[in-house]
Structure formats: C-alpha cells, structure tokens
Structure 1
Amino acid sequence: MNDILINNTVTFFKETFGAEPQKIVLSPGRINIIGEHIDYNDGYVLPAAIDKIICFAFEKSKAKTSRVIAIDLNDEFEINLNDPIELSDNVWTNYVRGVILQLQNKGFKFEGFNCVFSSTIPVGSGLSSSAALECGFLFGVKELYNLDIKPVDVALMGQSAEHWVGINCGIMDQFSSVMGLENKVIKIDCRTLEYEYHNADFNEYSLILFDSNVKHSLMTSAYNQRREQCEEGIAILKSNFPEVKSFRDCTEEQVQSVKDKMSEDVFKRSLFVVKEIKRVIQACQALDNGDIQTLGKLMYETHEGLSKDYEVSCPELDMIVDTLKTEEAVVGSRLMGGGFGGCTINLIKKGHEERIKAKLSGLYLDAFGIELKIYDVKIGNGTSLYINN
C-alpha cells in the first residue's frame, strides 16, 4: 500500500517539477493503546506510530517562493518566505504555514522549496493526520536544508504549529508520529516528556480500528468542560492532601474520601483519571510479559470508564464495544481519542477478523443506518527519510 503511495507521490513530483525529488519523507499517523484524556492531566499515555502515512517529496526551489501541493485535495498554494505569515481560510495550508513560522521564530535559516504530498491516513478518524502533516513537513525542510533540530524538538514545534492554527492539543500526537518504532509502544510522561519503549508484539492478534463514521458536535465544548472539571477535582484533592501535586500522586481511596466535597461530575471525572493513569502502568507490565489478555481487559475497563464516568462516549461507540464484548475472539475494545464519535481500537485473534468485520458491519448498519469504516493497522516507525534503493 505504502509502496504505491510513494511511487505515485514521486511520479507526480517528477511530472510537476521535471526532476527527481531531493528528499522523500514518510510521516505516520498514530493510535493510542490506552491512556485517554490523560495528557492534560499530567499522566502517562501509551501511543504508537502506525503504517498509515503521509509521503512528502521535496526539492530546493530556485526562487523566493515555495510551492506546496496536496495531491489528494487537488489543491496547492505558494508562499513567499519573506512575507509575514498569517492564517488562511484554506485550513490545510495553515498547518504548513504554522511549521514555517515555528522554524522562522526559532531562527533557522532556509530558502524556498517545492513540496508535494499524499496520504493513506484517513482524515477525521482520530489518527492524527494533522500531526503527521506538521512533523513530516518540518522534518523535510530540516533534511533539505540540513537544519540542526532534534527529533523531540520536531514534535514540540509541530505541537506549537497546531496551537497556532487554533487547536490546543497535548504533545502525544506529534511525539508518537516522530518517535514511533516498529512493534513498540511509547510510554510518555506528559509532565516531563520522559519516555520509554515497550514491546508490542501482537503476533497472534490483529489491531483493527472500527470507525463509527459519526462526529457529534458536543466534542469541543465537552472537551473544555472535562478539562475544567479535572482542574476543579485536583484543586480539591490538593487542598485536602498537601503531598498531592497532580492526579498521578493520588489513590482511588483519596478521591473517594473527598467525594462529598465534589459535585457528582467532578468526582466521576477525577476517579476515572486516577484509575486510567494506573491502567497505563498495568498495560506496560502486561506488554512486557506478553500478556495480551490482560491488556485487552484493561482496554475494556477504559471504555467502561470513558462511557460511564468520563461520559465522552456515544450510542454508536458503545454499541460497537458491547457487540465485540460478546465475541471470544475479541480480547479488547475501547473508544480511542476524544470521544463522541471517531474510532474504536480493537485487538482480535487472527483468523476471526473477516467474520467479525462482516457481522459488526451488518449490525451497525441495521442499528444506525451508517456504514462502518474499517482500518487494519500495524505499529510502524516514526517520521523518517525514505531511501530509494
């Protein structure tokens, strides 16, 4: 699949600019195994890069202007690096503009370039196509002009570009897109950015994403509300337990002990966060022991918490998980991402995938009149230079 993508991108570049690209960059989307809504609560997350990627082809231009072409959108724009960089109504271009602005603000010197890109990352499915675009584009300019930028700084500058566009994301998406390794998940400490790799050899299992194909409009307002409720919860915990600096320092017993000082919603959000931080640590232990059954059990527990305590699920996502729970061949399933739509991430025993896909698709269509989208994913490498042998 990615070989076709690379060939098509390079061919398009040659036909457009009449030359071979000087640099080819591959930048992946990401999944998160466990640790949802934890990045802004100073906890741990457990993401991985996947084999759905954006392919970029670059060359230095002989002009002050830079030309960037999005093959899949049949769209392009030109930018003069000497002009002030401002937000545009053409949204996808803002991610590129944001990256250029970050490079300029950090004092990096580079000149014009031509770039084309194409993708196998489904947009709007919670697989972080925007992080792949930011980090892949930045990595390409870095390689083209031999800029001295560490991988972690590529991720941080990608995050800053997304903030400039107007999305106040955590670091997880960009970090996993840049730092991913094949068959490894990354445990990221969202407070310190320390990280460690854990084996994710799902030899007997397939990672499959079922995309609900819905997006409920609650997402943005509910996300902001959850953040505020968590801030209220941790403030109450700190005032009662001076040793507590963040949720990761809390026990479930401490949350229970101040239940009468919290609103019901703040209590439920706080309890979920403390339990989810603990689940990430348990998931790492399960992976280290090759215990996929325990990992799956933790995934189901996370979904239950996201649905009942954090209340960011929806009927479509709950139906998918509830249906898969009845299948012995499905060891784990949960909603992935912000919630209110998007994907579930599922671990399914090999040999049962097609039967389960067909069954769930039929039931889902009957229940909601919506076609389920399905993505098979493998854990892959982070943003890298493609060397054409």
Structure 2
Amino acid sequence: MKKKLVQQVSASFKEKFGAEPGHIFLSPGRINIIGEHVDYNDGFVLPAAINKYVCFAVSENGTSNVNLYAKDLDQSYSFNLNDALQPGDTMWANFFLGVAHLIKERGLTLSGVDVVFSSTIPMGAGLSSSAAVECGFAFALNNIYSLGLSKEEIALIGQKSEHTFVGVNCGIMDQFASVFGKKNKVIKLDCNNLDHEYHSADFKEYSLLLLDSKVKHTLLESGYNDRRNEVEQGLAKLKAQYPEINTFRDLSEAQVEACKDLLGDVVYRRCLFVVREIQRVLDAVSALEKEDFKKLGELMFATHNGLSKNYEVSCEELDFLADAVRNDENVLGARMMGGGFGGCTINLVKKDAVNGIIERVAAAYKEKFNIKLEAYKIKISKGTSVYKNEHAGI
C-alpha cells in the first residue's frame, strides 16, 4: 500500500514536472486510543501515528516559486515565497501557505520547490489528514533546506498554520502524533507542556479496526464550542469551592459529585466526564504496560458511554456502531473517536475475527441507516519521515 502510493506520486511528479522527484516524504494520520476532549481540559491523551499517509514528492526548482499539485483533486496552485503570504480561497493550499509563512516569519531562508502530493488517509474520518499535510510539508522544507527545526517546532508550526491560515482552533495532539509517532508505540502526551513518553502498543492477537460512520453532523463546531464553555464555567465554580485546585487534573470524582447541585445537571455531567476521562488515560497506560487488553477494552467502552451520555458529543450512528460490537466475544472495546457527531469508532478486535465483524456490522448499519460503512484496518506506524526504498531506487 505504502509502496504503491509512493510509485503513483512519483509517476505523477514526473508527468507534471518532467523529471523524477528529488525527495519523497511520508506523513501519517493518527488515532487516539483514549483521552477524548481532555486536550483542552488539562488532561493527557494517548495518540499514535497510523499506516495511512500523505505522500509528498518534492524537488528544488531554483526559483522562489512553490508549485503544488494535489493529485487526488487534480488541482494545481502556485505562490511566490517573496510575496506576503495570505490565506486564499483554495482551502487545501492554505495549509502550505501557512507553513511557508510561519517558517519565513522565523527568519529562515527558503527557496522554491515543486510538490506533488496524494493521500491514503480517508478525508472527514477524523484521522487528521490536515495535520499530516502541514507537518509533512514543514518536515520536507526542514529536511531539504537544513532549517534546523526540531520535531516539536514542526508540530507547532503545523498547529499554528491551522489556526491562522485555515481557521481551525485545534489542539496540538494531531500534529504531535503525526511527527512524533513510533512503530507499535502510543504516546502519552501532556497537552499543557508537551511532556511525552512512549508506551508499547503491541496488541498480540488483537488489532485496531476503525469503523467509519460516513456521517458528519453540523453540530461539531457549535457543540465543541458549547462544551468548552460549559467545562470552563464548571471549573470556575469548582475552583471557588476548592481553592487548592488549579485544573481538572487536581480534582477527584468525589469532589465533583459533592458539587452536583451547585454545578447544575448539564455542567455537572460535563465535568464528571472530564475528571473520569483523565483518570481513564492513566489507567489505560497501566493496562498497556501490563498487556491487560481486556482492561483497556473496558476503558474504551466506558469512554464511549461517557462521551455519549455525559459529554453528549456522540450521535445515533456512532452509538449504533459501539453497541453493535458491545457483546461480541471477539471485541474487547470500542468507542467513538474524535470531536464527535460523526466520524469513526475505534475497536480492539481479535485479529482472526476482523473480516467477520466488518461484514456483520456493515450489513446491520446499511439496514438501519442506509449508509455504506467503511472499515479501515490499521497498524501503528512511525511518524513523518523520509521515504527510503532501495529496491525501487527511490
């Protein structure tokens, strides 16, 4: 799959620019094992890079022009690095413009490049194709022009590009996972200070399966902002009650329970979810260390229940997908993944049962919603990197 993508992008580059590309880079999408909606609530997250990629074929062109070709869209876009770079109407090009602008802003010298890119990361499935594009382009420029940017700086440039040129106020998790990913490792990331540690994620006879609901409800943007406001209100009230606490990380479940009437039903349930989810990430790390995959699965189901009932960011389709595998002996855990109101569920499934589960759930999903379910079998892979393939001579 990876090799095929590289070959297709290389061939497309030769067709567009009349020569073999000088460099090939791969930038992965990401999953999050557990730790949802806690990146902006002082919690920890547990993401990993996956074997779905944006592939970039790149050559220096000796000018100040950046010439881009989006193979999947069959669209071209060019800009001059000497110009004042601004976001434009071509949405996908803004990722590249933002990265180039932010690198220039650091006083680093860039020259023009020709770029062809293509992706195997499903769009709209919540696997962070945007972070892969930003970080892949920043990584490519850093590599080609020896800019001396650290991995952390590349992730932060990707995030800021999305904030300022794309207009999405994302957390750092997506970019961090795309750049810092390691094969068969999850990253326990502290979103406050970017402290991180790797933990083994070799699931033995189990594997990760994503079931894509193929829906995106319009509630995502408004629902996200509402939740942020609700938890901020809740934390302010809890701080007034418990002056010794600074963040949700300092709170116990019992303290939140004791303030149920003070908080009011909705804010109470939002805060309860956050405190429980922060603890679940710590418990999940412990379960991974002990290779207690049954426990990990239980935590995933518990997260889904919390996201559905207390944080209320699920939807009928995601609840259906989680419930469809809940009592299957071959499935240890499942939960909705990402912002909510659509996207994927992530499932921990016995390897030899994967195809049967896809078949069964897809049929039930089609019957219920008349939507064709997409399934992605994924592996945990390394982060953004230079592609080397001696056999292909690339």
How far off is 1:230 after superposition?
0.7
- Give the superposition deviation at 1:377: 0.5
Between the aligned partners of 2:202 and 2:125, the Cα distance in structure 1 is 24
In structure 2, the residue matched to 1:336 is: 337
CA distance in 2, matches of 1:234, 1:185: 29
Other-structure match for 1:18: 18
In the alignment, structure 1 residue 319 sits paired with structure 2 residue 294:
no
Shift of 1:69: 0.7
Residue 269 of structure 1: how far off its partner (Å):
0.4
- What SS is found at the alignment partner of 2:40? helix
Cα distance, 1:94 vs. partner? 0.6
**Aligned equivalents of 1:33, 1:282: Cα separation in 2:** 12
Identity in percent: 52
For 1:179, the aligned partner's letter is F
What's 1:121 paired with?
A: 121
CA distance in 1, matches of 2:167, 2:240: 33
- The answer to whether the 8 A contact 1:23-1:143 is kept is no
Contact 1:211 1:342 in 2 (8 A): yes
Aligned equivalent of 1:267? 268
Return the offset for 1:202: 1.2
What residue number does 2:279 align with? Answer: 278
Q: Structure 2 counterpart of 1:287, which letter?
A: L
Name the CA distance, whole Å, in 1 between partners of 2:197 and 2:5.
Answer: 31
* CA displacement 1:178-229 (0-9 Å, x = unmatched): 0000000000001111000000001201211000011111110010000000
**Within 1, Cα distance between the matches of 2:139 and 2:62?**
20
Take 1:353 and 1:99, find their aligned partners in 2: how far apart are those partners?
39
Helix, strand or coil for the counterpart of 1:364? helix
Task: Give the root-mean-square deviation of aligned CA atoms.
Answer: 0.8
Segments of structure 1 that go 5 or more residues without pairing to the other structure are none
* C-alpha distance in 1 between matches for 2:244 and 2:185: 34
Equivalent residue, structure 2, for 1:109: 109
Matched with 2:302 is: 301
State the partner residue of 2:71.
Answer: 71
Contact 1:22–1:144 (Cα < 8 Å) also in 2: no
Q: Which amino acid aligns with 1:50?
A: I
Query: Quick check: 1:198–1:288 contact (8 Å CA) kept in 2?
Result: yes
Q: Which residue of 2 aligns with 1:194?
A: 195
Q: Report the equivalent of 1:163.
A: 163
Q: TM-score, normalised by structure 1?
A: 0.99
Q: Alpha-carbon deviation of 1:336? A: 0.1
Residue in 1 aligned with 2:146? 146
Map of 1:208 onto structure 2 = 209
| Contact preservation (8 Å) 1:28, 1:50 | yes
Q: Distance in 1 between matches of 2:65 and 2:340?
A: 40
Q: Does 1:231 align with 2:242?
A: no
Letter in 2 for 1:16: K
1:368 partner letter: F
**2:131 counterpart residue number:** 131
Aligned residues: 389
Deviations 1:50-82 (Å, cap 9, x if unpaired)? 000011011111222110111111001010111
SS at match of 1:125: coil
Q: Distance in 2 between matches of 1:159 and 1:19?
A: 33
SS of corresponding position for 1:39? coil
Shift of 1:350: 1.5
AA in 1 matched with 2:377? D
Q: Secondary structure at the match of 1:321?
A: helix
Q: Secondary structure at the match of 2:244?
A: coil
Aligned equivalents of 1:168 and 1:19: distance in 2? Answer: 39
Instruction: Report the residue type matching 1:303 in the other structure.
Output: H
How far the C-alpha of 1:309 sits from its partner, in A, is 0.2
> Mind listing any 5+ residue stretches in structure 2 that lack a counterpart?
none
| Alignment-derived partner of residue 56 in structure 1 | 56
1:62 is aligned with what amino acid?
A: G
User: Contact (CA 8 Å) 1:57, 1:117: kept in 2 or not?
Assistant: yes
- Per the TM alignment, residue 23 of structure 1 is displaced from its structure 2 partner at its CA by 1.6
